[in-house]
């Protein structure tokens, strides 16, 4: 992550959104559903963080949006990953995995000395 | 879909805030969630409530999103729009390249319109708009005067005392100066002979009125003027062309009309004084005019020695109306105080920009400007309508493409912008083409030689950045006008439906009605333009047939100025005798005559006030104004002016004999109404002895080719010396062929005098702005505009009918299959075209009649032909319209019914 002061949870949401959009362009609701399904509902992102995160990601140029027609013929705003976003996803995934691995190692370390 | 008004959507698009889009997005989210809850067993009502509940604090989320959006909007707008614009431009260019036919047609339509507008703009700019390169140009006022003889015309006729009187009116003018044109000669000491040059003689305040600083040295001042100091300020142009931009010019002595003058300064580049038609070489103080022209100061200072106009900077809170009111009172006082100032003397004032190119043209220029602006606008309208039609036709055929783009997520605003961008690209291409065309046209105009009273003039026309900016504005407006309609209507169709429907789109009644309406507008506009062009052409033809009162064929005329060679009266007279003899000996020369005036070239060299001897028959104070010229014995014979009564001058009418005068018919009639004039005496103002009337000459035209009859008096040259004279030569062969031989003869007879303005009289009549030139130029210009309008209109009509035929292929095929004959089909399609043309012609005739009322003042003798021209235009345009409808109709009749119906 570019900004280390960003709270972990928020960063996680961003990463999950990017990952969701790497599968296929979709609308906000689609992103939310994908995250629920992909994490077995362990991680639930509420609308109050999802949409601001989407808007900020777009602001940074990692996703772009356009109006299109949804699967049930409604007009919906579709988000897609930009090339920069795809790159960002790669970098962030790597960093997160290293972080998670490190956390795992740390948490798995013997507790008795 | 939202259905708020279009402008709101458009505004939102431009202001890039997306607020309602946020709501749309969140609504969609809630709706999706509700749908899913329904699937899990909730009733629709419960599902909706639950979805809303789970969504949380919608207002807070919305506020957050708006904040992000707005921040982003502000930051992104410019870059984002530019990027979009670039996309549109690339897309547009690709589209236009794919359809070269359409592109060429549209660009040439618009290009013609823009070229016409650009030429008119440059004329209007030069004559009405371009401010002088001086301080407070908007507050400059020009004051001249008029009198009964001049009628509505104003002229530079203020005398030095009147100029001082006016300049003292500090309640009206902050600063004021008198200025007059002075034709003279400039000579560098040591040079063999002088060169003709035009100076402005001005009172000492001239440069302070204008606020023009010296680029080098200094400008002359009140003190120079009062002391009658022989000082000269050169224009930047004269300094460069005549003195090779000599850096040491200030302080040098040059000869002006043989008198030594000290060059004291040079004006800034671009400043040529306040006279627009003349190429001015420099400025001298008004105080030196008497010595330059060898006139006694007392004569030059007389109240009726009028030759100046006043250029003044008005007091900021005094309007031109205030000034005119004050001047009316002042005129009345001057006239009662000095009866000799002239009958019906009145002071007239115009804002400087309304008094171009000369005070005399003050009213006409504005009028002509308005008329031509209207004509140009109409042509531009025709061009824009054509472009609109072409774009409309194209937009309809590409509805599928647009529908696909919209389905892929392009908003309507985006589509409109894209279509507009395309039109603007076309318009800019047209601007390039039109600008080039206009440059050629203006080059043509500028190459027409102009001369006036022996002084070369300049058109002052040019394509500069001001005209360019105006042309760009016109282009953009035209582009938007031509493009906005098609863009809106193309994007307005129910696009999603179109995709499914396939091919045959856009035959909606509305689209066709719009196109038909546009054609009607076009036809009407070109009727107006054509009728005006017709009137101008007829007017020019009438002018050519005007009886000048002389036989202008086989005449050669040239000027000589004895003052340029420092000749006194005796040596000048000797030189003239030598020259006359030498020229008369040239083979091909029939007769030779001297005069100080030549009709149209320099109409009169004098203006006399004459006391009529018949009381009660003339104007209030019993004076008659006569224009006049000084002529040699053979003048009447050489010019071909018939002497109706009495005799012409002879060699015997010299300074030793009694004074004689020849009047024209009108002068004789005015001075001696109902009585024979022969043998009577008249006293001309400025002449101390009574003159006997020895002859009456036929009336002619003197100053301008379209003037009212003037009273005119001829005085024998031997009895009244003037150094600047014209030599008129009647030839037996083509006069221009004799020019080299005549020049050689003059040079052999006198080495010092250099002929200027050597030209056949017929050629002079063509090139003088007082002759046929203006009428010709106007007529040519109007005809070209008219032709452009017609071509554009016919192309438009043809396009619309062709298009409608191509759209109705199936219908026509069906009708033919059901038994309609070729002829029926052709007739019905031609009838469609005829109906449009008919309505257009009708509307156009109404407009044309209104316009001709406005044109009446600018035309000569066209009035009686109004009806004929209207009829000709109506019939001609109608016929052309039928032909352009017939061509596509023929094509329709050849449709194969079976193929047409199958193509469904």
Say if residue B26's pLDDT is above 70.
yes
Which residues of B lie inside 8 Å of A (Cβ-Cβ)? 1, 21, 24-26, 28-29, 31-33, 35, 55-57, 60-61, 64-65, 68-69, 71-72, 407-409, 411
Rounded Cα gap, residues B386 and B481, in angstroms: 11
For β-strands B231-234 and B259-266, DSSP reports them as parallel
Phi, psi for residue B689 in degrees, rounded to 5: -115, 155
Taking CA B327 as the corner, what is the angle to CA B326 and CA B333, rounded to the nearest 5 degrees? 100
Predicted pLDDT at B153: 67
Percentage, residues of chain B above pLDDT 90:
20
Please compute the mean of the pLDDT values over residues B597-623 and round it to a whole number: 69
Question: What per-residue string of b and e applies to B615-645 under the rule 16 or more CB within 10 Å gives b?
Answer: eeebeeeebbbbbbbbbbbbbbebbbbebeb
CA dist., res. B140 & res. B315, Å (int):
10
More confident site: B255 or B498: B255
Please report the pLDDT score of residue B8 as a whole number.
54
Residues 46-105 on A with a CB inside 8 Å of B are: 46-48, 51-52, 55-56, 58-59, 66-70, 72, 74-78
B457 three-class SS: strand
Nearest residue in B to A60, CA atom: B72
Which residue is closest to A52 within chain B, CA to CA? B65
Q: Average pLDDT, stretch B888-899?
A: 77
Domain boundaries, chain A: 8-108
pLDDT at B203 over 50: yes
Please say whether the beta carbons of B289 and B468 come within 8 A: no
Q: Which class for B176: exposed (0-12), middle (13-18), buried (19 or more C-beta within 10 A)? A: buried
For the stretch B433-463, pLDDT in tens is 999 988 888 887 777 666 554 455 565 666 7
pLDDT digits (tens, 9 = 90+) for B467-511: 888 888 888 888 887 777 777 776 665 344 444 444 444 445 566
As given in the structure block, the two tokens for residue B749 are 């007879």
- The domain A8-108: what is its CATH number? 1.10.10.10
C-alpha distance across the termini of chain A, in Å: 34
Enumerate the residues of chain A whose CB falls inside 8 A of the CB of residue B69. Answer: 55
Would you tell me the crossing angle of helices B362-397 and B465-492 to the nearest 10 degrees?
A: 30
**Partner residue facing A29 (CB), from B29, B68, B69:** B29
Residue that is written with structure tokens 């200072």 in the block: B301
B345-404: pLDDT as tens digits:
889 898 888 877 677 766 667 777 787 888 888 888 888 888 888 777 776 666 667 777
Interior angle at CA B180, CA B342 and CA B453, nearest 5: 90
Worst-scoring range by mean pLDDT, B80-89, B171-180, B319-328? B80-89
Confidence of residue B207 (pLDDT cuts 50, 70, 90): very high
**pLDDT at site B239:** 93
| DSSP 8-class letter at B129 | I
B257 preceded by a cis bond (ω within 30 of 0): no
Nearest to B25 among A28, A46, A72 (CB): A28
- Distance in Å, alpha carbon of A2 to nearest chain B alpha carbon: 19
Neighbours of B303 (CB within 10 A): 19
Q: At which residue do the structure tokens 């063509």 appear?
A: B766
Q: What is the pLDDT of residues A47-98, one digit of tens each?
A: 888 898 998 898 888 998 888 888 888 888 899 999 989 999 999 899 888 8
Distance from the A112 Cα atom to the nearest Cα atom in chain B, whole angstroms: 45
Stretch B747-761: mean pLDDT = 84
Closest partner CB to A46 (pick from B56, B64, B69): B56
The tokens for B339 are 């009866």
CA Rg value for chain B: 37
Rounded Cα–Cα distance for residues B880 and B877 (Å): 5
Contacts of A51 in chain B (CB under 8 A): 25-26, 61, 64-65
- Please tell me which residue, B234 or B601, carries the higher pLDDT value: B234
Asked if the Cβ–Cβ distance from B29 to A55 is below 8 Å, we say: no
Largest CA distance in chain B: 133
- Interface touch A75/B24, C-beta < 8 Å: yes
CA distance B792 to B432: 19
Residues B313, B127, B460, B599, CA torsion sign: negative
Beta strands in B549-605 (DSSP E): 555-561, 589-595
Question: Can you give the pLDDT at residue B363?
Answer: 66
State the Cα torsion B58-B60-B66-B72 to the nearest 10°. -120
For a pLDDT cut of 70, what percent of chain B falls above it?
86
Torsion of CA B118, B121, B123, B124, to 10 degrees: 170
B280-285 and B195-202 as β-strands: parallel, antiparallel, unpaired? parallel
Nearest CA-CA distance, residue B441 and chain A, Å: 50
pLDDT tens profile B590-599: 999 999 999 8
Cβ neighbours of B406 in A, within 8 Å: none
Spell out the residues 6+ positions from residue B161 whose beta carbon is closer than 8 angstroms to its own: B301, B303
How much is the mean pLDDT over chain B? 81
Task: Give the residue from B20, B33, B409, B499 with the most A CB atoms within 10 Å of its CB, the best one to mutate.
Answer: B409
Q: Which pLDDT value is given to residue B562?
A: 82
Rounded Cα–Cα distance for residues B880 and B790 (Å) = 9
Tokens of residue A49, six digits: 């963080």
Burial of B894: CB neighbours in 10 Å, binned 0-12, 13-18, 19+: exposed
- Closest among B342, B401, B381 to B144, alpha carbons compared: B342
Residues of B with Cβ-Cβ distance to A49 under 8 angstroms? none
B57 CB neighbours in chain A (<8 A) are 48
Q: What is the average pLDDT across A9-24? A: 86
User: Exposed, middle or buried, B223 (CB in 10 Å: 0-12/13-18/19+)?
Assistant: exposed
Has residue B464 got a pLDDT over 50?
yes
Q: How high is the pLDDT of residue B482? A: 78
Q: Which helix (H) or strand (E) holds B144?
A: strand B140-146
**Distance (Å, rounded) from C-alpha B722 to C-alpha B576?**
12
How far is B472 from B433, CA to CA, in rounded Å?
12
Cα–Cα distance, B779 to B846 (Å, whole number): 22
As for the ipTM of the complex, it is: 0.85
The candidate with the shortest Cα–Cα distance to B359, out of B274, B432, B441, is B274
pLDDT of amino acid B496: 43
Question: And the tokens for B7?
Answer: 């402008």
The angle at the Cα of A64, spanning A63 to A68, to the nearest 5 degrees, equals: 130
Contact between residue B229 and residue B260 where contact means Cβ atoms under 8 Å apart: no
For residue B743, what are its two tokens?
């020049």
Maximum Cα–Cα distance for chain A, whole Å? 63
- For B318, list phi and psi in degrees, rounded to 5: -95, 120
Q: Do the Cβ atoms of A77 and B56 come within 8 Å?
A: no
Question: B834: how many CB neighbours lie within 10 A of its CB?
Answer: 16
- Contact residues, A window 23-42, toward B, CB-based 8 Å cutoff: 27-29
Joined together, the tokens standing for residue B544 give 């050519």
Q: Provide the pLDDT for residue B756.
A: 78
- C-beta atoms surrounding B292 within 10 Å: 19
Sequence-distant contacts of B843-850: CB under 8 A, at least 24 apart: B843/B520, B843/B523, B843/B524, B843/B527, B844/B523, B844/B524, B844/B525, B844/B526, B844/B527, B844/B528, B844/B531, B845/B527, B845/B531, B845/B870, B845/B874, B847/B524, B847/B525, B847/B527, B847/B528, B848/B527, B848/B528, B848/B531, B848/B532, B848/B873
Mean pLDDT of B64-91: 76
pLDDT of residue B204: 93
What residue of B is the nearest CA neighbor of A46? B55
Q: What is the pLDDT of residues B322-359, one digit of tens each?
A: 999 989 888 888 888 887 777 778 898 988 888 776 77
Burial of B728 (0-12, 13-18, 19+ CB in 10 A): buried
Q: Is the pLDDT of residue A5 over 50?
A: no
What is the average per-residue pLDDT within B635-654?
92
Cα(B214)–Cα(B224) distance, integer angstroms: 15
Identify the helix (H) or strand (E) that includes residue B617: none
- Positive or negative: CA dihedral B543, B546, B552, B556: negative
Q: Does B429 have pLDDT greater than 50?
A: yes
3-class SS of residue B888? helix
Contact between chains at B31 and A74 (C-beta distance less than 8 A): yes
What is the torsional sign of CA B522, B524, B529, B531? positive
More confident site: A41 or B579: B579
- Which parts of B604-648 are beta strand (E)? 606-611, 623-631, 643-646
Predicted pLDDT at B219: 95
pLDDT of residue B460: 62
Q: What's residue A60's pLDDT?
A: 84
Residue B476 is predicted with a pLDDT of 87
Q: Pick the residue of A32, A60, A74, A79 with the most B CBs within 10 A to test the interface with B by mutation.
A: A74
The model's confidence at residue B731, banded by pLDDT at 50, 70 and 90, is very high
Cβ atoms within 10 Å, residue B248: 9
- What is the helix (H) or strand (E) element at residue B695, kind and residue range? strand B691-697
- Main-chain dihedrals φ then ψ at residue B428, nearest 5 degrees: -70, -40
Count the residues in chain A: 113
Q: What is the mean pLDDT of residues B195-216?
A: 90
Give the one of A48, A69, A70 whose C-beta lies nearest to B61's C-beta. Answer: A48
Residue A68's H or E segment, with its range, is strand A63-69
| Strand ranges, E, within B506-615 | 555-561, 589-595, 606-611
Looking at residue B458, its pLDDT comes to 60
User: How confident is the model at residue B636, as a pLDDT?
Assistant: 95
Give yes or no for residue B694 having a pLDDT over 90.
yes
Contact list, A55 vs chain B (CB under 8 Å) = 65, 68-69, 72
Instruction: Map tokens 């006399």 to a residue.
Output: B608
Measured distance CA(B696)–CA(B678) in Å, rounded: 7
**B216 band by pLDDT with thresholds 50, 70 and 90:** very high
How far apart CA B505 and CA B575 sit, in angstroms, is 88
Please indicate whether, in this complex, the C-beta atoms of B28 and A78 are within 8 angstroms of each other.
no
Radius of gyration of chain A (CA): 16
Strand, helix or coil for residue B673: coil
In this predicted structure, the answer to whether residue B208 has a pLDDT above a threshold of 50 is yes
Phi, psi of B219 (to 5 degrees): -90, 160
Asked if B64 contacts B394 with a C-beta cutoff of 8 angstroms, the reply is no
Q: How confident is the model at residue B662 (pLDDT cuts 50, 70, 90)?
A: very high
Q: Given an 8 Å threshold on Cβ–Cβ distance, is A55 in contact with B65?
A: yes
């Amino acid at each position: 992550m570019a900004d280390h002061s960003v709270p972990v949870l928020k960063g996680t949401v961003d990463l999950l959104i990017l990952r969701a959009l790497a599968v296929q362009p979709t609308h906000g609701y689609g992103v939310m559903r994908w995250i629920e399904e992909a994490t077995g509902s362990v991680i639930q992102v509420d609308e109050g963080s999802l949409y601001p995160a989407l808007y900020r990601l777009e602001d940074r140029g990692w996703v772009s949006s356009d109006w299109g027609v949804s699967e049930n013929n409604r007009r919906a705003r579709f988000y897609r990953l930009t090339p920069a976003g795809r790159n960002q996803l790669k970098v962030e995934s790597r960093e997160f995995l290293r972080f998670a691995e490190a956390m795992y190692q740390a948490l798995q370390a013997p507790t008795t000395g | 879909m939202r259905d708020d008004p279009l402008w709101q959507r458009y505004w939102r698009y431009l202001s890039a805030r997306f607020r309602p889009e946020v709501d749309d997005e969140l609504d969609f989210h809630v709706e999706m969630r509700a749908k899913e809850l329904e699937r899990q067993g909730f009733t629709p009502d419960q599902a909706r409530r639950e979805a809303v509940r789970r969504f949380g604090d919608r207002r807070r989320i919305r506020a957050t999103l708006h904040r992000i959006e707005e921040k982003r909007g502000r930051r992104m707008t410019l870059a984002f729009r530019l990027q979009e614009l670039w996309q549109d431009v690339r897309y547009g260019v690709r589209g236009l390249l794919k359809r070269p036919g359409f592109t060429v047609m549209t660009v040439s339509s618009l290009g013609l319109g823009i070229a016409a507008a650009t030429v008119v703009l440059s004329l209007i700019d030069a004559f009405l708009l371009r401010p002088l390169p001086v301080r407070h140009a908007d507050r400059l006022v020009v004051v001249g005067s008029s009198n009964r003889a001049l009628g509505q015309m104003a002229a530079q006729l203020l005398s030095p005392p009147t100029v001082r009187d006016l300049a003292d009116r500090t309640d009206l003018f902050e600063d004021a100066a008198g200025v007059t044109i002075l034709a003279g000669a400039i000579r560098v000491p040591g040079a063999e002979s002088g060169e003709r040059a035009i100076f402005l003689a001005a009172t000492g305040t001239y440069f302070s009125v204008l606020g023009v600083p010296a680029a080098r040295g200094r400008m002359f001042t009140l003190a120079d003027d009062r002391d009658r100091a022989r000082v000269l300020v050169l224009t930047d142009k004269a300094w460069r062309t005549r003195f090779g931009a000599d850096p040491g010019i200030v302080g040098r002595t040059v000869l002006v009309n043989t008198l030594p003058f000290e060059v004291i300064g040079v004006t800034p580049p671009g400043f040529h004084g306040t006279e627009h038609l003349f190429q001015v070489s420099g400025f001298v103080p008004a105080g030196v005019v008497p010595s330059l022209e060898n006139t006694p100061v007392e004569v030059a200072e007389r109240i009726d020695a009028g030759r100046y106009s006043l250029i003044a900077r008005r007091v900021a809170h005094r309007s031109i109306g205030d000034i005119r009111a004050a001047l009316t009172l002042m005129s009345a006082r001057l006239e009662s105080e000095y009866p000799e100032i002239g009958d019906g003397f009145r002071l007239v004032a115009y804002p400087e920009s309304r008094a171009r190119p000369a005070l005399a043209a003050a009213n006409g220029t504005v009028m002509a400007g308005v008329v031509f602006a209207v004509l140009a606008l109409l042509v531009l309208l025709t061009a824009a309508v054509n472009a609109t039609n072409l774009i409309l036709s194209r937009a309809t055929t590409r509805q599928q493409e647009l529908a696909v783009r919209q389905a892929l997520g392009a908003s309507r605003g985006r589509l409109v912008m894209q279509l507009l961008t395309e039109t603007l690209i076309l318009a800019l291409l047209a601007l390039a083409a039109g600008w080039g065309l206009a440059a050629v046209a203006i080059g043509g105009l500028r190459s027409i030689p102009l001369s006036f009273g022996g002084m070369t003039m300049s058109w002052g026309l040019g394509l500069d950045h001001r005209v360019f900016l105006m042309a760009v504005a016109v282009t953009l407006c035209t582009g938007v006008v031509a493009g906005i309609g098609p863009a809106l209507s193309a994007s307005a169709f129910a696009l999603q439906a179109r995709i499914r429907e396939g091919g045959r789109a856009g035959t909606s009644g509305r689209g066709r009605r719009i196109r038909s309406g546009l054609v009607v507008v076009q036809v009407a506009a070109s009727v107006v333009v054509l009728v005006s062009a017709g009137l101008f052409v007829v007017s020019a033809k009438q002018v050519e047939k005007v009886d000048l009162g002389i036989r202008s064929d086989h005449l050669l005329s040239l000027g000589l100025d004895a003052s340029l060679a420092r000749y006194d009266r005796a040596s000048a007279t000797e030189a003239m005798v030598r020259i006359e003899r030498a020229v008369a000996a040239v083979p091909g020369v029939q007769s030779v005559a001297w005069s100080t005036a030549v009709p149209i070239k320099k109409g009169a060299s004098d203006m006399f006030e004459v006391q009529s001897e018949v009381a009660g028959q003339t104007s209030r104070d019993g004076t008659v104004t006569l224009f006049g010229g000084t002529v040699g014995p053979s003048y009447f014979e050489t010019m071909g002016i018939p002497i109706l009564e009495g005799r012409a001058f002879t060699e015997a009418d010299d300074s030793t004999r009694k004074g004689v005068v020849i009047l024209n018919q009108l002068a004789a009639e005015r001075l001696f109404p109902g009585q024979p004039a022969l043998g009577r005496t008249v006293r001309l103002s400025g002449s101390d002895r009574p003159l006997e009337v020895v002859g009456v000459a036929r009336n002619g035209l003197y100053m301008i080719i379209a003037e009212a009859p003037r009273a005119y008096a001829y005085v024998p040259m031997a009895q009244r010396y003037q150094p600047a004279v014209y030599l008129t030569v009647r030839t037996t062969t083509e006069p221009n062929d004799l020019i080299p031989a005549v020049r050689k003869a003059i040079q052999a007879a006198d080495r010092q005098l250099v002929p200027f303005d050597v030209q056949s009289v017929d050629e002079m009549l063509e090139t003088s702005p007082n002759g046929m030139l203006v009428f010709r130029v106007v007529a040519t210009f109007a005809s070209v505009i008219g032709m452009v309008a017609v071509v554009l209109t016919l192309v438009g009509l043809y396009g619309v009918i062709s298009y409608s035929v191509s759209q109705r292929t199936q219908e026509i095929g069906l009708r033919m299959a059901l038994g309609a004959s070729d002829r029926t089909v052709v007739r019905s399609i031609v009838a469609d075209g005829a109906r449009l043309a008919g309505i257009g012609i009708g509307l156009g005739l109404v407009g044309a009649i209104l316009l001709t009322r406005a044109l009446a003042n600018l035309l000569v003798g066209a009035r009686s032909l109004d009806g004929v021209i209207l009829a000709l235009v109506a019939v001609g345009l109608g016929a052309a319209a039928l032909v352009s409808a017939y061509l596509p109709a023929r094509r329709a009749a050849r449709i194969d019914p079976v193929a047409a119906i199958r193509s469904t």
